[in-house]
Chain A
């Protein structure tokens, strides 16, 4: 065990899989000699050579197209999109191509590609760097979307994503990169995909979140605990597909639910959680489902993003509303 930040855990996972599987390749803009704009690939080119870790021209569509063809010739690409909102440039590669090539060929063409990409607010980035656009990709059949909230999960989920034989969009939260540190094994380990994690046990209300909002939910749970309210916090970890079984079991126990996301309210991952619970567990509920999400405006200008981002206080307020119904 070593104390690692979230981004160090990402680097550690990449280091482990490059050592374990000679067919893995890391590439993207500035991921080579520079070690990535956030140092996620720090030292990897020195260790594994330019054949395994290399820079590409500045073109996201080309980068993901490159991944598709490399996978077709036996490689396991781990491309990086420098910031998640730049994925729009490569939307066809993600939505129109790699996610459906197995389906198109009845399994003849596998696409073991893990697209790493940072996202998320709270670090005062320039425009179109922090937007949460995961819901655009969460609705794509054939594509898994993973969004870890902790350093331990980031490493274990990234290893599992890379070893999976289908494409995974792996979203790394910018604010969490250096703000959290925890004990992480240096050796390779795996966390299963498609499984949520109960990060805090509780009996009175269920809080479901992913990414940075998991930490806000934990803070909210601590605040509620002061009043003797035991909130259960579920980290989805994989946001497409979502692990409904874990959510249903919790709702059966607590009878109350608040769904939290950093993204805007409309058509998000949270809306899907609400729908699943409404369809399958409406009779377990003692109150309407609460939602905490960002306003339906464009992602805010940097200096005032905190006025816009959901946080623990908004979660506490919503939880009290649901609890007092």
Chain B
């Protein structure tokens, strides 16, 4: 008894599906892969000194990565998540924030903590080695420690953003995670809470294409990750994460927007992890081919800015070589400083668990103190 007359569907889901995310199709860019300025208006907001500074800090991060890899192979470090390739995404964004802004990093975001002034490179090494001093921020520096539980940083960041708003401070919270994290409930909840409370949160999703071995397309059917913010009623943008000028300009605009009381913003940076997921035995050749990777290597964020600066006579190979030497020396001193940190004790572990020790801890402290005194 079916009606055979052709009629338009009640709801044209096919058309809706085809159009989902189309507003996000063009990533924001200032400097293209051939180091041509494609957005002159934004480019003109940067001074020569700023451009050189960006190049210097990206070079420093790259040398930090190289030295970390060396120290790791020497067995002088523990867990380490490589940052090679993400320099523009990480440093372009963090430099857009103010010292009073509260940083919530993931385990790959130690360069931002260092740049934000929260930790020294030696503390970064201590974190990798598994030492509490790596989690202690410099006085007055607002940063969380690197979050291991993917997504947890975003719900805490939403709370910090609300707290800053309630304090009446000119400050925002900003948080980082990767493409895989956008599948987590906490990532959505964090953005949705910040949206519901119109709290000043800038959530930065660094989309490097891979969550360990799982490609981004396996995480979600969405055309972009940025469009996920629509679900929270939060504005968002996709940006070329290999273009430090684009990342910085977008992050600064997001910071200004959030700080002005307009609620949260989400940013998706399109970047690439040139190396392994982590130092813990990951081998990207098991799941990625050189053919897949080469186009991303061609987008190296350092090359792009280096070419531009060289053309403008603001950079030279000699200057770069001098800087590299200085950074290497700095990080070699830092690893020695980290290695010289005092051993942690069970009494410290027990003492740090509560402000006022509970009765069971009081008893265990006595035992631990006695055992430690005997060892000495």
Q: Smallest Cβ distance from B370 to chain A, in angstroms?
A: 18
Contact with B360, one of A69, A109, A241 (Cβ below 8 angstroms): A241
Q: Mark interface residues in B159-195 (1 if CB within 8 Å of A CB, else 0).
A: 1111110110000010000000000011001101100
The verdict on A66 contacting chain B, using a C-beta distance below 8 Å, is yes
In the complex, A310→B213 CA distance in Å? 50
**Cβ–Cβ contact B152 & A96, under 8 A:** yes
What does DSSP make chain B's interface, helix, strand, loop or mixed? Answer: helix
In the complex, A276→B196 CA distance in Å? 47
**Cβ–Cβ contact A73 & B164, under 8 A:** yes
**Cβ–Cβ contact B155 & A70, under 8 A:** no
The verdict on A86 contacting chain B, using a C-beta distance below 8 Å, is no
Q: Mark interface residues in A129-152 (1 if CB within 8 Å of B CB, else 0).
A: 000000000000110100000000
Q: Known interface pairs A59-B193, A97-B156, A244-B359. Does A102 touch B137 (Cβ–Cβ under 8 Å)?
A: no
Most B CB contacts (10 A, CB to CB) among A70, A110, A165 go to A70
**Cβ–Cβ contact B355 & A110, under 8 A:** yes
**Given the complex, which residues of A lie within 8 Å of B189, measured CB to CB?**
57, 59, 61-62, 65
Q: Smallest Cβ distance from A36 to chain B, in angstroms?
A: 19
Binds A, one of B37-45, B56-64, B346-354: B346-354
**Cβ–Cβ contact A69 & B192, under 8 A:** no
**Given the complex, which residues of B lie within 8 Å of A104, measured CB to CB?**
132, 135, 145
Q: For residues 18 through 58 of chain A, which have their beta carbon under 8 Å from a beta carbon of chain B?
A: 51, 56-57
Chain B residues bordering chain A, tally (CB within 8 A):
42
**Cβ–Cβ contact A102 & B358, under 8 A:** no
The verdict on A103 contacting chain B, using a C-beta distance below 8 Å, is yes
In the complex, A96→B137 CA distance in Å? 20
Chain A residues bordering chain B, tally (CB within 8 A):
43
Among residues of A, the one whose C-beta sits closest to the C-beta of B154 is A65
**Given the complex, which residues of A lie within 8 Å of B162, measured CB to CB?**
66, 69-70
Most A CB contacts (10 A, CB to CB) among B137, B173, B193 go to B193
**Given the complex, which residues of A lie within 8 Å of B145, measured CB to CB?**
104-105
Q: Mark interface residues in A94-119 (1 if CB within 8 Å of B CB, else 0).
A: 00110000111111111000000000
Among residues of A, the one whose C-beta sits closest to the C-beta of B201 is A69
Q: Mark interface residues in A194-208 (1 if CB within 8 Å of B CB, else 0).
A: 100000000000000
Among residues of B, the one whose C-beta sits closest to the C-beta of A142 is B353
The verdict on A245 contacting chain B, using a C-beta distance below 8 Å, is yes
**Cβ–Cβ contact A96 & B149, under 8 A:** yes
A-side residues, CB < 8 A to B, are 51, 56-57, 59, 61-62, 64-75, 77, 92-93, 96-97, 102-110, 141-142, 144, 164-166, 194, 241, 243-245
Across the A-B interface, give the 3 residue pairs with the lowest CB-CB distance, nearest first.
A65-B155, A69-B159, A73-B163
Sample of 11 more A-B contacts, CB < 8 Å, known A61-B189, A74-B167, A110-B355: A59-B189, A62-B189, A62-B192, A62-B193, A68-B159, A69-B163, A103-B132, A108-B137, A166-B354, A241-B360, A245-B359
B-side residues, CB < 8 A to A, are 102, 132-133, 135-137, 144-145, 149, 152, 154-164, 166-167, 173, 185-186, 189-190, 192-193, 196, 348-349, 352-356, 358-361
11 residue pairs bridging A and B, Cβ less than 8 Å apart: A57-B192, A62-B158, A66-B159, A68-B156, A69-B160, A72-B144, A72-B159, A74-B167, A75-B166, A106-B348, A108-B136
